[in-house]
């Protein structure tokens, strides 16, 4: 698959995850976007070797939350 298509998939996952997180946690879109964009999970999403870009936004949010537990735990 081309880099462009993988990037589009990652962008769609990130967009959906931002919206889902904001709704689920009752926070603003801006806060959700800032949290996700500054995370290691986001770095992994755009590291196409990881394969995370092939998963959906639910999987990505779960991955993000598990990685945050490791950081704060």
**Tell me: the pLDDT tens digits for 4-15?**
999 999 999 999
Q: What is the pTM of this model?
A: 0.92
Integer Cα distance of 44 and 23 in angstroms: 23
Inform me whether the pLDDT recorded for 61 exceeds 90.
yes
Integer Cα distance of 65 and 41 in angstroms: 9
Are residues 67 and 40 in contact, defined by beta-carbon separation less than 8 angstroms?
yes
- pLDDT, residue 73, reads 63
Are residues 17 and 57 in contact, defined by beta-carbon separation less than 8 angstroms?
yes
The residue ranges of every structural domain in the chain are 3-72
Render pLDDT for 25-51 as a digit per residue (tens, 0 to 9). Answer: 999 999 999 999 999 999 999 999 999
Give the pair of three-digit tokens for residue 41: 């999970």
- pLDDT, residue 14, reads 98
Integer Cα distance of 72 and 20 in angstroms: 22
- pLDDT, residue 70, reads 79
């Amino acid at each position: 698959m081309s880099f462009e298509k993988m990037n589009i998939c990652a962008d769609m996952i990130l967009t959906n995850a931002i919206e889902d997180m904001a709704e689920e946690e009752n926070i603003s879109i801006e806060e959700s976007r800032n949290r996700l964009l500054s995370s290691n999970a986001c770095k992994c999403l755009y590291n196409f070797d990881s394969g995370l870009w092939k998963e959906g936004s639910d999987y990505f949010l779960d991955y993000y939350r598990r990685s945050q537990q490791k950081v704060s735990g």
